Amino acid sequence: MKQNILPAIRLTIVCMVFFMGGYTLIVWLTAQAAPGKGKGETATAHNRTVGWKLLGQKFTDDKYFSSRPSAVDYHADGSGGSNKGPTNPGYLKTVEDRIDTFLVHNPGIQKKEIPSDLVTASGSGLDPHISVQGAYVQVKRVAVARNIPEQNLKELVTKHIDDPLFGLFGTERVNVLKLNINLDKMKK
């Protein structure tokens, strides 16, 4: 038994030193190389911080592009999905309500034209992106609300399309906060 205890104690000490010191230092150094030095990237408009580039935000005014719905009402301290399955009656009612609300605010759009990401929440509830189709389907509403030609808004959306990670992972997407900040900078 003595021959097992000493190696176990040594392994415990080595693991404590590595995970409490070495690993923490590696993560901290990696964060220092990231934008925002590990504190996140903020977005500014009118010389003030208006949000975090990697956290979804609620935009309800028709003059802005809408974000993806959030099951946690965009609260970063309680990130998470609804955990309801696709056959759950409560979930189906929530999605139907979102579809109805979207159709009210976007007249002329057919139900089949609504991308699923505009009526279903992401797994974290904090996704800052929508699909390219999700942005384009909102162009008409925003153009009417701001009295801006639709073509100008389509060009703005096109400029804000982010490619998949490393060109391989995910799909093209649009960061809604960045898009709306630049939308406010546009002239009629």
Q: Are residues 145 and 63 in the same domain?
A: yes
Structure tokens given for 111:
């139900």
Same domain, 68 and 143: yes
Both 117 and 63 in one domain: the answer is: yes
pLDDT of residue 166: 83
The bridge status of strand 48-52 relative to strand 42-45 is antiparallel
State whether 32 and 55 are in the same domain.
no
Number of domains in the chain: 2
Residues 21 and 100 in one domain: no
- Considering the domain architecture, whether residues 63 and 154 belong to the same structural domain is answered as yes
Query: What angle (nearest 5°) sits at the alpha carbon of residue 59, between those of residues 117 and 188?
Result: 110
- Rounded to two decimals, the pTM is 0.74
Domain that holds residue 60: 41-185
162, 174 Cβ separation under 8 angstroms: yes
The answer on 135 and 75 residing in a single domain is yes
Residue 93 burial (C-beta neighbours within 10 Å; 0-12, 13-18, 19+): exposed
Q: Are residues 28 and 45 in the same domain?
A: no
What is the model's pLDDT at position 52? 62
C-beta of residue 30 within 8 angstroms of C-beta of residue 19: no
Q: Is there a single domain that holds both residue 5 and residue 75? A: no
Residues 77 and 151 in one domain: yes
pLDDT at 187: 65
Residues 105 and 132 in one domain: yes
Whole-number pLDDT of residue 45? 66
Q: Helix (H, G, I), strand (E, B), or coil: what is residue 74?
A: coil
> Is there a single domain that holds both residue 16 and residue 54?
no
pLDDT-flagged residues of the chain (< 50): none
